[in-house]
Amino acid sequence: MGKYLTAREIAAAVGGTGAAKAAGAADASGRIVRAAKRLGERRRIPVEGMIEDQGDPRLAGLLYGRYPVSYNACECVAVYNALYSAGRNVSFADLLTEFEENGIVGYFLFGKRSPFVGKFGSNPRKIARALGHYGIAYERTRREKTYRELLKNGDAFIASFINGGNIFRGVHTFFFTREGDSFRVYNGYGKRVCRDFDEVKSGSRFIMGYALSLPF
């Protein structure tokens, strides 16, 4: 896996100078320049604060890959909420673009030129690239029993689930925090305050989870 390409480097490609020259040196197709154009368009739609629901009207008009954010960007929303909670100054527009240009977005047939880029959202395992780049330490597991143990001592989490336990209903990933004896959920399955992890899951099947170390 190569260097994590930042939004700042992508934006610099508009002028073709500095870090973007190095980043796009092997990019004869102009992919970085096209990414810079998308980034500029996204930055015209400001998003501030936590995102409670990826169907938020503030996100209308934003695409992730070739699909609306409301349809497929739950992993990006989860990481954005985690970074915002940690006090990292990262815009949602920048993060969307970084997910696309660092291979975190899911590809379905034909790689990055596929007409189905983003059809299935992001790879939950690959969001670790963004977390690591922004200095968020984590423990990750695919075992629900292990994750439940991590929940006992942690304060911030990201988890992925098969909706309703049925793979044909897709996958959902979201950020949540511990608040006393409850969990505060952002962009989850409806309830914003859940008494326990079973309520957080809402009948869905656990795939994998991250226990995050955030500077609250």
Say whether both 141 and 119 belong to one domain: no
Residue 177 lies in domain: 137-213
Residues of the chain with pLDDT under 50: 17-22, 24-26, 28-29, 107-111, 114-116
Say whether both 109 and 153 belong to one domain: no
In a domain, 114, yes or no: yes
Q: What SS3 class is residue 188?
A: coil
**CB-based contact 173:210 (threshold 8 Å):** no
The reported pLDDT for the residue numbered 82 is: 97
Say whether both 61 and 158 belong to one domain: no
Say whether both 104 and 186 belong to one domain: no
**CB-based contact 95:80 (threshold 8 Å):** yes
In a domain, 132, yes or no: no
Say whether both 107 and 173 belong to one domain: no
Distances (CA, A) of 205 to 28, 38, 159, 163: 43, 35, 11, 7
The reported pLDDT for the residue numbered 18 is: 47
**CB-based contact 209:147 (threshold 8 Å):** yes
177 torsion bin: left (phi>0), alpha (psi -120 to 50), beta (else): beta
The reported pLDDT for the residue numbered 202 is: 96
Domain count, the chain: 2
Say whether both 65 and 156 belong to one domain: no
The reported pLDDT for the residue numbered 110 is: 37
In a domain, 128, yes or no: no
What is the C-alpha to C-alpha distance for residues 55 and 69, in angstroms, rounded to an integer?
8
Give CA 25 to chain center in angstroms: 27
The reported pLDDT for the residue numbered 117 is: 52
What pLDDT, in 10s, does the model give residues 125-163? 999 999 999 999 999 999 999 999 999 999 999 999 999
Q: Which residues contact 39 (CB under 8 A, 6 or more apart)?
A: 7, 10, 11, 93, 94, 97
The reported pLDDT for the residue numbered 168 is: 85
Distances (CA, A) of 12 to 2, 88, 103, 160: 19, 21, 20, 34
What pLDDT, in 10s, does the model give residues 74-93? 999 999 999 999 999 899 99
